[in-house]
Amino acid sequence: MAMGRRLAGMVQEARRSFGAAGGGGEVENRSQPPDLPTEHDLSIALTAIRKRYVVGPVSTDILHGVNLEVPRGDLLAIMGASGCGKSTLMNIMGLMDRPSGGSCVIGGREVSAMTDDERSEHRNRSIGFVFQSSFLLPRLSAWENVALPLAYRGHATAAARLKAEEMLARVGMEARTEHLPNQLSGGQQQRVAIARALIGRPSIILADEPTGALDAQTAEEIMGLFISLNADDGVTAVVITHDAQVARQCGRVVRLVDGVILESPELSSPAAPRDAD
Amino acid sequence: MPFSIVIATAVKSLAGTMQRTLLALFGIAVGIGAVTALVTTGTIARSEALKQFEALGTDLLSLHGFSVASSARTAADLTRDNIIGLPALSTIDSTAPFVINSGELSGAGERQRVQVVGVTSEMAELADIELESGRFLSPLDGNRPFAVIGADVARQLDRMGRESGVGARVKVRGTLYTIIGVLKPGSRGPAAIRRSETLFVPLGHAMRTAGASELTGVILRMPPGVHYLAATAEVEEHLRRVAPHLQTRVDSPVEIIEQMDAQMRLFAILLGAVGGVALVVGGFGVMNAMLASISEQRLEIGIRRALGARRADIQRQVLAESSILCLAGGAAGCLLGVGVTLGVSLFAGWTWQLSWGALLLGVLTAVAVGLFFGYYPARQAARLDPIVALRMG
């Protein structure tokens, strides 16, 4: 599995380096400019995303035209002060909220015009959420929590359980599959939540302050897990954080300032995960 | 989402708030119990009432002279002559005229009112008369003062310390009758004649001693397969011809049974409606429990939506919860209802019967209540904005 992802990443790299001519007829005969990534190379492409909240007579603009592309295999940190619209941006990327304007392409599909059901379906298949607090369902065991996204695809319980246990093993939780959330520590809960986000093989993992509720050492472990998932399995992830320490561990860092995105090369890790391979 | 997971999730959620679940379940159980108990009681009461009227004999008609106001003295009485032609009608098999007079038994300082009913021998067959001892009146008895006594009359005579067996004598209305037969206890037969409190005497004798030629009534028997309306019409037509001034009324037990049936059906529906009120109250209890559960599970709903649950999935989840709640309440209610009707039947001396229809109605109603009262909370849950749900949770 990891191997396949890495191979796919290498093919993309090759196409990016050599263009359509280098790829020849056997890759994909598209009339795309050779040095631009095709939409299938992008997990998310946001163009001129605006968001305005209207409460009674008062309207507030939160996002003023966000442009952001997240290529496959990226580990991106979005930094910003509290209230700058990080969570709004994440809700839009996660198909939980609709932008007031602009285009949002996720997993190769324009999502702005989707119906509520289509968004649910797309959310289930293309997005994996990790929240600040793990948000596990309290009455379900670890594996049942992890299997939930598959349940909403109508998968049979036995098959879903096997996959869930595999995924729990991937995050180092194979010994606690039957535990209820309240029988797990904060770090363990977050690992289960990451397994739940991964199980549906989404195009992208969206993590909103995933270490915000954890102590420094556990936070380190969780970030380590993201980095290894990104490096070994090619998982694409966007980590939203206000913590420069956390951001620095990601391959690429952008800042959300006054409702627009600014690249922050000074914070981006010198060894981007793709290059580490 | 697979159905088994929907059900398992609903059960877990209900078990998680056991106290509230039990209270809501109790409300539904009382409602469904009321519906099944009242509908079943109505059904049993109806069949009991019908049984009594069917005992009168569904192949019999009773013909009565109509009491006329004094101003219309031209009206004729119903006499034996009027009815001579009746057995010749195609819709009538046989006739049994009777006259009812009241009398009194006395002895040992006690007095007891009795009926003295003048009949012909045909009455034995038409009224299904069964004898404990002796024989019934025969045409050969003519107008002799013979009497066949009812079981209560016999008991009364015993209590007065007088002989009540065949061959004994009893004085009523100034006539000393010889007892030739005693009836078995229990009663079937025309409603007008309270048989166990009766002395059956020869019709001619009764009419002579009463000094009147008017019959109290006539029991008519129809041959098999004749509808009572056809027979009634023919009898009335015949009487109009032979006695134009005669005013009569023909009653049929079937007619009474039909009226009774309609009435009891209405009664059962009314009882069901009363139970329905209890059920509606229980339904609101379920709705309340569901709304409380949703407001507690807001965060959970938000998480499920984030993981890809569609609105329909959330709605189905809540409906599954309310339906399971109501189904469990319905099952408990059915048991409760059966218990109550069993108690009522024992108390009233009715034959208890399990009304499968009422049980089915109970279960179906429970599911319907679950879906109906779960619908609004389910819609509320489905319409919850996932962002708000996650933030509030």
Pair (B215, B349) in one structural domain: no
Query: Looking at CA atoms only, how far is residue A94 from chain B in angstroms?
Result: 8
Residue B78 neighbours by CB distance under 10 Å = 23
Cross-chain CB nearest to B311 (options A116, A151, A152)? A116
**HEC secondary structure over A149-162:** HHHCCCCCHHHHHH
Q: How far apart, in whole angstroms, are the C-alpha atoms of residue B3 and residue B317? A: 10
Cross-chain CB nearest to B2 (options A121, A149, A157)? A157
Q: Is residue A201 part of a domain?
A: yes
Size of interface A-B (CB pairs under 8 A): 68
Amino acid at A133: S
Q: What is the mean pLDDT of chain A?
A: 81
Pair (B37, B129) in one structural domain: no
Q: Is the dihedral of CA A236, A240, A245, A247 positive or negative?
A: positive
Contacting residues of A for B13, CB less than 8 Å apart: 139
Residue B353 neighbours by CB distance under 10 Å = 12
For chain B, which residues lie within 8 Å of any Cβ of chain A, measuring from their own Cβ? 1-2, 4-5, 12-13, 16, 299-300, 303-313, 386-387, 390, 393
Residues linked to residue B99 through DSSP beta bridges, in sequence order? B118
Q: Is residue A23 part of a domain?
A: yes
Question: Which pLDDT value is given to residue A109?
Answer: 85
Query: Looking at CA atoms only, how far is residue A117 from chain B in angstroms?
Result: 6
Would you give per-residue pLDDT tens digits along chain B (393 residues)? 878 888 888 998 888 888 989 999 999 999 889 888 888 888 888 788 777 777 667 788 888 876 554 444 455 678 888 888 888 888 888 889 998 888 888 777 778 888 899 999 888 888 778 888 899 999 888 888 999 998 888 888 888 888 888 888 888 888 899 999 998 886 555 555 667 788 999 998 888 888 877 888 888 888 888 888 888 888 888 888 888 778 888 888 777 778 888 888 888 788 878 888 888 888 898 899 999 999 988 999 999 999 999 999 999 999 999 999 999 999 999 999 999 999 988 888 888 888 788 888 888 888 898 999 999 999 999 999 988 888 875
**For chain A, which ranges sit under pLDDT 70?**
1-41, 266-277
> What's the whole-model pTM score?
0.68
Residue labelled with tokens 């009572």: B228
Q: Is residue A43 part of a domain?
A: no
Pair (B45, B76) in one structural domain: no
Interface probe, candidates A62, A90, A117, A120, chain B, greatest B C-beta count within 10 A: A120
Q: Where are the alpha helices (DSSP H) in B307-385?
A: 311-348, 356-383
Pair (B39, B72) in one structural domain: no
3-state secondary structure of B162: coil
Is A35 an interface residue toward B (CB < 8 Å)?
Answer: no
Q: How far apart, in whole angstroms, are the C-alpha atoms of residue A211 and residue B237? A: 103
* Structural domain ending residue among the three candidates B253, B282, B317: B253
pLDDT tens digit string along A25-48?
A: 333 444 444 444 444 567 889 999
CB–CB of A156 and B12 under 8 A? no
Cross-chain CB nearest to B308 (options A91, A124, A135)? A124
Q: Is the dihedral of CA A47, A53, A58, A62 positive or negative?
A: negative
Q: How far apart, in whole angstroms, are the C-alpha atoms of residue B42 and residue B46? A: 6
Domain count of the fold of chain B: 2
At a CB cut-off of 8 Å and minimum separation 6, what does A87 contact? A208, A240
Domain count of the fold of chain A: 1
Cross-chain CB nearest to B387 (options A97, A123, A156)? A97
Structural domain including B160 reads 60-253
CA A60 vs. chain centroid, Å, equals: 27
Pair (B114, B179) in one structural domain: yes
DSSP chain A: -HHHHHHHHHHHHHHHHHHHHHHHHHH------TTSPPGGGEEEEEEEEEEEEEETTEEEEEEEEEEEEEETT-EEEEE--TTSSHHHHHHHHTTSS--SEEEEEETTEE-TT--HHHHHHHHHHHEEEE-SS----TTS-HHHHHHHHHHTTT--HHHHHHHHHHHHHHTT-GGGTT--GGGS-HHHHHHHHHHHHHTT--SEEEEESTTTTS-HHHHHHHHHHHHHHHHHH---EEEEES-HHHHHTSSEEEEEETTEEEE-TTTS-SS-HHHH-
Q: How far apart, in whole angstroms, are the C-alpha atoms of residue A69 and residue A67? A: 7
Pair (B93, B39) in one structural domain: no
3-state secondary structure of B110: strand
pLDDT tens digit string along B234-251?
A: 888 888 888 877 888 888
Is A155 an interface residue toward B (CB < 8 Å)?
Answer: yes
* Residues B282, B31 contacting (CB under 8 angstroms): yes
Query: Looking at CA atoms only, how far is residue A55 from chain B in angstroms?
Result: 15
Q: Is residue A56 part of a domain?
A: no
Structural domain including A164 reads 2-30+73-98+114-263
Residue labelled with tokens 């609105």: B311
Pair (B200, B345) in one structural domain: no
Pair (B180, B269) in one structural domain: no
* Structural domain ending residue among the three candidates B253, B273, B299: B253
Interface probe, candidates B3, B11, B307, chain A, greatest A C-beta count within 10 A: B307
Phi then psi for residue A265, to 5 deg, are -60, -25
Pair (B226, B269) in one structural domain: no
Question: Which pLDDT value is given to residue B393?
Answer: 58
Q: Is residue A38 part of a domain?
A: no
Cross-chain CB nearest to B300 (options A116, A123, A137)? A137
Is A85 an interface residue toward B (CB < 8 Å)?
Answer: no
- Exposed / middle / buried, residue B288 (Cβ in 10 Å: 0-12, 13-18, 19+): middle
Pair (B41, B65) in one structural domain: no
3-state secondary structure of B24: helix
Question: Which pLDDT value is given to residue A4?
Answer: 46
Interface probe, candidates A111, A148, A180, chain B, greatest B C-beta count within 10 A: A148
H or E, element range at B161: none
CATH number at residue A146: 3.40.50.300
Q: How far apart, in whole angstroms, are the C-alpha atoms of residue B234 and residue A139? A: 79
Residues linked to residue A53 through DSSP beta bridges, in sequence order? A60
Pair (B213, B282) in one structural domain: no
Chain A residue at shortest CA distance from B6: A151
Pair (B223, B193) in one structural domain: yes
* Structural domain ending residue among the three candidates B253, B268, B295: B253
